[in-house]
Structure 1
Amino acid sequence: MAQLDPNQIHIAESHSCCCATDDHHTGDGTAQQPDNQGGGPSAVGAGQSKLQLFMPAIFSFVLLIVGLALDNNWLSKPAFFSGWVRLLWYVIAYAPVALPVIRDMFRAISKNDFFSEFTLMTIATVGAFIIGVYPEGVAVMLFYTVGENIQSLAVRKARGNIRALLDQRPDEVTVIQGEHSHTIKAHAAAVGMIIQLKPGEKLALDGELLSDRAAFDTAALTGESKPGTKTQGDTVLAGMVNLNRVARVRVTAAYTDSKLSRILTLVQHATAQKAPTELFIRKFARWYTPAVAGFAVLITAVPYFFVADYVFSEWLYRALVFLVISCPCALVISIPLGYFGGIGAASRHGLLVKGSNFLDALAHARQVVMDKTGTLTKGVFEVKEMVIDSEFDKTEILKLVNTLEHHSTHPVATAIQRYLGDVERVSGLEKIEEEAGMGLMATVDGQQLLAGNFRLLDKYGISYPTAVAAISDTVIAIAYDGKLVGYFTIADEIKPDAQAAVRELKTMGITPTLLSGDKSAVVQDVARKLGISKAYGDLLPEDKVNMVKAIRDAGDRVIFVGDGLNDAPVLALSDVGIAMGGLGSDAAIETADIVIQDDAPGKIPMGIRIGKATRRIVWQNITLAFSVKIAVLLLGAGGMASMWEAVFADVGVALLAILNAIRIQRMSFGTLDEKE
């Protein structure tokens, strides 16, 4: 994957609320492809200062104000300001704001989109000129353009949080070779290279810290400003900032394979997944806009047959007012902007949401099902005890176990590797396999070697004492040649914010459930400490899938939170799959709908609060737009609303909806008690 351009993260900007097509139109009249097809930068406002953006509107506004002053005797009305001179004056005022819209209208028509908002605004304003209300024609197009420009600025702000993610990695890195150092392009750095990071520099690639210790600012990845101290051997990620001393890092992943690269890919395509509300508005606009155009024709023509003193210009004016009011711009731009703001707010807090539909699903969820290891517990295991039967050669058994465990990346396997340390690894292991949710197996000189939980021993018919099975800690049993050789007892630690996260979920009316492949005694102990009443252990991956299916079949929307390779199937099955992005496996992160960057369980209720706030704002905008437009539409059809009321119903309501949509970027989601 090439380094991403920040401008690739986009939603439609000015002139984007096209009513009857899924294409996004840019302010210079070019058409962008829908979000899910990628594309270039959003055009309106891109590379422009605010003054440049508003200059055509300012020019038109000045001419309009002067024209109104001359028309209404605010100044001594000159004799020349009449007839063709007056018309020319308002045409010059109209042109700067109208020509881009008219151009977009013809381009939309060339794509068989006859009822875009560009068509509505052009017909309404040209019609105003035809019946002689020049100032109102200019005013409608002027305020429409101002509204679109403000929308452009609002989208810039909405994109700001996400764009910040795209500027984390430096283009170059300092590579150490022997006693010498030199600078190369970051994307050219290969796995195994050693790079030097000075205080204040950002890390460009994922790696392993070689220095004794170093402090890093991880805010770009986790949303947390608290520095983290890393020691030799710890994993450090692209985007982290070295804080206090020169550090050396061995590169462990290519530039395009870093965790941050995957983050950018997820965020780049976040707007491709549309929420049901967005999809409804798109479908609604397809029939709504032609319908109001038809009503406008009826408003003009039908009264001819029923009104005794019918005046064509009067009813045409009412129809034009109706068209201006009917433009669904407030809906079509403010709703995706609201969802995009929610995605940006989530990313600012270390939650990467892959689509606005998942924000909606978060808001509706009533069940949160969580894995234990790496989700509610730290997943950083330590071996408490090792027991090897004296009947066996301890040294040889440990060599075999160490070799076998190096074929797994599971945290338990890593703990055993770390515990065995310098124990020699041997060759000769064959047919090495990992039994999902149970452990590892291999053959050595024709004999079977097993390392896993008791379900693995049961599967292969290996007996073990009941006293060993009754041990309350996590136990990894070792079997060789059909006999139990010994075992390791493993300890894990509950994450600091896990209890608070469970408590918040309950306060929100959401039922937490704990599912784990670990032994039931361990799972029940963790559940008791966290206050979870529903907890199940000794589960295989298919058991987790079946239990989540049962919850969904009962009618509840389900969030599943996990981190391991074995969690990928149930992450895919759930309504919202959340993966822990720090310790989580690549498969879990790719399958999940949302990624928690710092592995904190507290981000689960935070994500739900963001989803609820986003949905609340979206529905506030829908209610506002519909209620105002319906009221003014009725007044306009009855001749009780002029073009000025129409401008408020269109542009005014759109601006109010946009201002409401961007509120989410200023909200605090730290705790349930914090106010917006």
Structure 2
Amino acid sequence: MSKECCSTDEKQSIVSPKQKHEEGHDHDHSHGHGQNDKRIFQLFLPALLSFALLCLGLALQYWLKPDWFSEAFRLALYLAAYIPVGFPVVKEAFISIKHGDFFSEFFLMTIATVGAFAIGEYPEGVAVMLFYSVGEVFQTMAVQRAKNNIKSLLDQRPDEVTILENNVPKLIKAQNAVTGQIIQLKPGEKLALDGKLLTESASFNTAALTGESKPNTKKEGETVLAGMINLNTISLVEITTPYEDSKLSRILEMVQNATSQKAKTELFIRKFAKIYTPIVVFLAIAICLLPYFFVAEYDFRDWLYRALVFLVISCPCALVISIPLGYFGGIGAGSRNGILFKGSNFLDTLAGVKHVVMDKTGTMTEGVFKVQEVFIQQGFDKDEILQHLNTLESKSSHPIATAIREFAGPVIHTEVHDFEEIAGHGLKGTLEGQDYLAGNFKLMEKFNIAHEIEHAAVADTLIAIAVDGKFAGYLTIADRIKDDAGTAVDELKKLGVSITMLSGDKSAVVKEVAGKLGISNSYGDLLPEDKVNKLNELKSANESVAFVGDGVNDAPVVALSDVGIAMGGLGSDATIETADVVIQDDRPSKIPMAINIGRETRKIVWQNIILAFGVKAIVLILGAGGLATMWEAVFADVGVALLAILNAVRIQHMNFSNTK
């Protein structure tokens, strides 16, 4: 429990310092269940001991009533029952005061229970601290479970890898493997580092990265990522990225850091607790002392009891624990479905999104292009043009460049001088003394290249080519709409979300794709700055806007939007780093799923706030009027906290697959 009853990270040490174990134990499946049961028993041991002594004291006091059960013996027995559960809390109260935090929940509980002992209400003093401690244990378990769920979903990296040294297999620590080494991956084994497949082809289970267990076949030269499981043949992989820089490592780091990005509701509750707690302490003092001046038959003991009940009821832990736990659950639910939220604040913002703006290529389409037609003007050597174009495109990572390389075959290593990638236009470079331009027709206009092609009427993507300032021809390239893109659009419409498609591709292509998907607002032929301007127009209408993209050119609009969503499978590193939400498997249907998770999380958080405030307000009034005892106070504090926790963990078990 944090000293402010706000941080879930420190809570565990208060309940039981022994519970801190190395996280590596979570991966020891042979002993995992036994160790987990032992940790749970250790957490509950102080409460069990306290409960046994409390039951003994109640039996002796109210049923057996032996002569030797004197007041001194009674005090000693209840004090023994109090110490196992009360000592850690009293200790934390003193530590909090030492650090300048006088009004922590530990201080409230200490005053209330010590006060109960002072007026002779020993069983109630023990019971309040006992149930409070049991509540703390449940809170700790729930928070730890949420954290472990997130970590276990993502930290799929094996500790060791088999590398080949002079064609001899050698087992080494994954962290010691270096780029350039060759990993031998047997069927069923999990890849520990990112690399390039050297085997002709291999099938992988990518569930660790994408949430999808459907086999993914990779071919020689293609990238394979840490966390993928080799399915059916011994494969060789050349390491291309250090262990700590693999995509899975970065994804894990993103999610582990997600809790540092707090939602507005969470931040408000933190600030509220710091103001609320001292106020209720002074109100409790007023309840105890002020009636002396207004009540004819003032009984200090009676009014002190009412003040102590008031203090127990007012403890804000139901709010400040269940709310972060709700956001933990939302982040965990997203991770389980291949959606990474980089902070709870983005869950909140996504829940309120009214407009989704999306890129076309790689977002709603496969981003896997195929060359359909090649047209080269007379006077140019077709083979030479294609070879030089292939060499120029080899300098780019754009999917269109990949399509051209696949079509033209192996690159002839001609040196490229003055290479330049012109954002939103294409490529420029000099090969064997000739100046080449390759890109869209806006590139031709930019360099005043004359042509007679009616490119606007062509539905496919066109790549224009110019050599030494003369138009040389073009290639037509076709993309394919993703299978679930239509489902994504339908689900977004059901959620009441408006949709706009922006693309740097030609308008004819964009309108055709948008029409097939049922998107009424679409704009093509956009440069990166044009996308920024369009997004600003939408934001000026006071709408909360999410942008979904995958390319380097999308990074500025991803950063500008209220929520930036990146397609993480094929997406560029720049966009993934800039984005607030990462969809790991590139499936558009995860966009409405992410919004659903955000909305459900927000709903649960507000249910907990209303529950806690409602019950506490009623019992606070009853307590101040002398109509509520410590037992009602226990329900208002610990009972409500447990109900809120149970409600918060619900989201971890919700099924969002209907939008898959």
Normalising by the smaller structure, the TM-score range is over 0.9
1:479 partner amino acid: A
Say which of 39, 49, 59 aligns to 1:59. Answer: 49
Q: Deviation per CA, 1:62-97, whole angstroms, max 9, x where unpaired?
A: 11111111221x22x111212211111111100010
Q: What does 1:334-483 correspond to in 2, within 5 Å?
A: 334-427=322-415, 429-444=416-431, 447-483=434-470
Partners of 1:623 and 1:131 in 2: how far apart? 34
Partners of 1:392 and 1:229 in 2: how far apart? 39
Is the contact between residue 500 and residue 520 of structure 2 (CA under 8 Å) also seen in structure 1? yes
1:631, distance to aligned residue in structure 2 (A): 0.1
Aligned counterpart, 2:266: 278
Aligned counterpart, 1:513: 500
Say which of 556, 567, 581 aligns to 1:580. Answer: 567
Partners of 1:123 and 1:288 in 2: how far apart? 17
Aligned counterpart, 1:309: 297
When residues 464 and 30 of structure 1 are mapped into structure 2, their CA distance, relative to the original with a 3 A threshold, is farther
Q: TM-score, normalised by structure 1?
A: 0.93
When residues 376 and 445 of structure 1 are mapped into structure 2, their CA distance, relative to the original with a 3 A threshold, is same
Say which of 161, 165, 168 aligns to 1:173. Answer: 161
User: Is 1:255 paired with 2:232?
Assistant: no
User: Is 1:153 paired with 2:138?
Assistant: no
User: Is 1:619 paired with 2:606?
Assistant: yes
Aligned counterpart, 1:609: 596
1:161, distance to aligned residue in structure 2 (A): 2.2
Partners of 1:462 and 1:604 in 2: how far apart? 41
Is the contact between residue 154 and residue 209 of structure 2 (CA under 8 Å) also seen in structure 1? no
1:174 counterpart SS class: strand
Q: Deviation per CA, 1:631-660, whole angstroms, max 9, x where unpaired?
A: 000000000000000000000000000000
1:567, distance to aligned residue in structure 2 (A): 0.3
1:122, distance to aligned residue in structure 2 (A): 0.1
User: Is 1:566 paired with 2:556?
Assistant: no
User: Is 1:228 paired with 2:216?
Assistant: yes
Partners of 1:649 and 1:276 in 2: how far apart? 25
Q: Deviation per CA, 1:247-305, whole angstroms, max 9, x where unpaired?
A: 11222222122110110110110001001100110111111000000100000010000
Q: Quick one: percent identity of the two aligned structures?
A: 63
2:571 partner amino acid: G
When residues 22 and 240 of structure 1 are mapped into structure 2, their CA distance, relative to the original with a 3 A threshold, is closer
Partners of 2:105 and 2:613 in 1: how far apart? 17
Q: When you count helix as a share of all residues, which structure comes out higher? A: 2
When residues 281 and 468 of structure 1 are mapped into structure 2, their CA distance, relative to the original with a 3 A threshold, is closer
Name structure 1 gaps, 5 residues minimum. 1-14, 33-39
1:382 partner amino acid: K
2:510 counterpart SS class: helix
2:412 partner amino acid: E
2:481 partner amino acid: I
Is the contact between residue 435 and residue 441 of structure 1 (CA under 8 Å) also seen in structure 2? yes
Is the contact between residue 561 and residue 579 of structure 1 (CA under 8 Å) also seen in structure 2? yes
Partners of 2:434 and 2:576 in 1: how far apart? 37
Q: Deviation per CA, 1:525-579, whole angstroms, max 9, x where unpaired?
A: 0001100000100000111111111111101101100000000000000011010
Aligned counterpart, 2:30: none
2:334 partner amino acid: A
Partners of 2:207 and 2:149 in 1: how far apart? 12
Q: Is the deviation greater in 211-220 or in 626-635? A: 211-220
1:250 partner amino acid: E
1:123 counterpart SS class: helix
1:28 partner amino acid: S
User: Is 1:125 paired with 2:113?
Assistant: yes
Q: TM-score, normalised by structure 2?
A: 0.95
User: Is 1:645 paired with 2:632?
Assistant: yes
Aligned counterpart, 1:10: none
1:398, distance to aligned residue in structure 2 (A): 2.7
2:398 partner amino acid: H
Partners of 1:555 and 1:469 in 2: how far apart? 34
Partners of 2:23 and 2:195 in 1: how far apart? 32
1:152, distance to aligned residue in structure 2 (A): 1.1
Partners of 1:214 and 1:80 in 2: how far apart? 80
Is the contact between residue 25 and residue 31 of structure 1 (CA under 8 Å) also seen in structure 2? no
1:317, distance to aligned residue in structure 2 (A): 0.3
Partners of 2:210 and 2:261 in 1: how far apart? 23
Q: Deviation per CA, 1:181-237, whole angstroms, max 9, x where unpaired?
A: 212221222223221111111001112222233222111111122222333333221
Aligned residue pairs total 647
Say which of 524, 542, 552 aligns to 1:555. Answer: 542
Is the contact between residue 214 and residue 244 of structure 1 (CA under 8 Å) also seen in structure 2? yes
Q: Deviation per CA, 1:587-632, whole angstroms, max 9, x where unpaired?
A: 0000000111100001000001100110000000000000000000
Aligned counterpart, 1:3: none
Is the contact between residue 164 and residue 184 of structure 2 (CA under 8 Å) also seen in structure 1? yes
Is the contact between residue 3 and residue 96 of structure 2 (CA under 8 Å) also seen in structure 1? no
1:57 partner amino acid: A
Partners of 1:290 and 1:383 in 2: how far apart? 70
Name structure 2 gaps, 5 residues minimum. 25-34
Aligned counterpart, 1:288: 276
When residues 30 and 464 of structure 1 are mapped into structure 2, their CA distance, relative to the original with a 3 A threshold, is farther
2:43 partner amino acid: L
1:663 counterpart SS class: helix
1:454 partner amino acid: F
1:554 counterpart SS class: coil
